Amino acid sequence: MLLTIDVGNTHTVLGLFDGEEIVEHWRVSTDPRRTADELAVLIQGLMGAHPMLRTGSVDGLAICCTVPTVLHELREVTRRYYGDVPAVLVEPGVKTGVHVLTDNPKEVGTDRIVNTLAAKHLYGGPCIIVDFGTATSFDAVNERGDFVGGAIAPGIEISVEALGVRGAMLRKIEVTRPRSVIGKNTVEAMQSGVLFGFAGQVDGIVNRMAAELSENPDEVQVIATGGLAPLVLGEATSIDVHEPWLTLIGLRLVYERNTAAATSQQ
């Protein structure tokens, strides 16, 4: 089985694949202070409770990480605790098959490249990936599967926290759908502004991006992913499909591409 690990700024998502099927997944907080040993205990503790691992073991690892300090510790985890299994950390030099057509490709996060690979594999191109994480990122993929650029906006949780910190009469709220767009109290007014405001942002950016990406904007597939995507799915009219495990699927594809290349060279 293949263990995939997607480390973001706020959360880390782990997925266990049996072939092409994801059979288990976990979401934990990302803590850059965790040592390699602590990360190993966390990973092994999560997997130890899974029944499929009683008769088998992890035979591969695929990791992408946007937090440098955590990436350093994960290298140590793979060396000390999984040294006998193939491990692929997505970084320069790793084969992804994705051409990055930006001014400085090294600036593009590895998660966005992995998402591009998975989106092309699952849905073809052109497409737009909307990733609802710490930031809300919009990634444009052309018909050949190239990453051509995108947009980055503050994420939902960041915006809610900012309102609570900077607004003297405001506070942190649960982001959920209010009774109506016109809020009847402060909490509902904030919920309305956040939820419908983000939905409008998504539709506005996606529509503009699709018009630049293709002569026929209607052919551009829009894919939502990320932990906060379910909050906006019912309100943003431009989203075509929700793929919660897009990054994990992309990691599986990167792993297969690189381990197959290594095997063929032996």
Among 163-167, 241-245, 255-259, name the one with the lowest average pLDDT: 163-167
Q: How confident is the model at residue 241 (pLDDT cuts 50, 70, 90)?
A: very high
Confidence at residue 261, expressed as pLDDT on a 0 to 100 scale: 53
Q: How confident is the model at residue 190 (pLDDT cuts 50, 70, 90)?
A: confident
Catalytic residues: 111
For residue 266, pLDDT over 50 is answered with no
Confidence at residue 167, expressed as pLDDT on a 0 to 100 scale: 59
Stretch 76-85: mean pLDDT: 93
Q: What is the pLDDT of residues 48-71, one digit of tens each?
A: 877 766 545 789 999 999 999 999
For residue 129, pLDDT over 60 is answered with yes
Q: What is the pLDDT of residues 5-46, one digit of tens each?
A: 999 999 999 999 999 999 999 999 999 999 999 999 999 898
Q: What is the pLDDT of residues 85-128, one digit of tens each?
A: 999 999 988 999 999 999 999 899 999 999 999 999 999 989 99
**Cα–Cα dist 217/118, whole Å:** 21
For residue 220, pLDDT over 90 is answered with yes
Confidence at residue 55, expressed as pLDDT on a 0 to 100 scale: 47
Pick the more confident residue, 159 or 252.
252
Q: Compute the mean pLDDT over every residue in the chain, rounded to the nearest whole number.
A: 90
Stretch 144-155: mean pLDDT: 95
- Are 199 and 256 in contact by the 8 Å Cβ rule? The answer is no
Q: What is the pLDDT of residues 85-95, one digit of tens each?
A: 999 999 988 99
> Are β-strands 2-7 and 11-18 bridged in parallel, bridged antiparallel, or unpaired?
antiparallel
- Are 223 and 128 in contact by the 8 Å Cβ rule? The answer is yes
Q: How confident is the model at residue 171 (pLDDT cuts 50, 70, 90)?
A: low
| Backbone phi and psi for residue 186, each to the nearest 5 degrees, phi listed first | -60, -45
Q: Kindly provide the residue ranges of all beta strands, DSSP E only, lying in 41-157, ordered along the sequence.
A: 60-65, 87-89, 127-132, 135-141, 147-154
**Cα–Cα dist 166/248, whole Å:** 36
Q: Kindly provide the residue ranges of all beta strands, DSSP E only, lying in 47-182, ordered along the sequence.
A: 60-65, 87-89, 127-132, 135-141, 147-154
Q: What is the pLDDT of residues 191-217, one digit of tens each?
A: 899 899 999 999 999 999 999 999 999
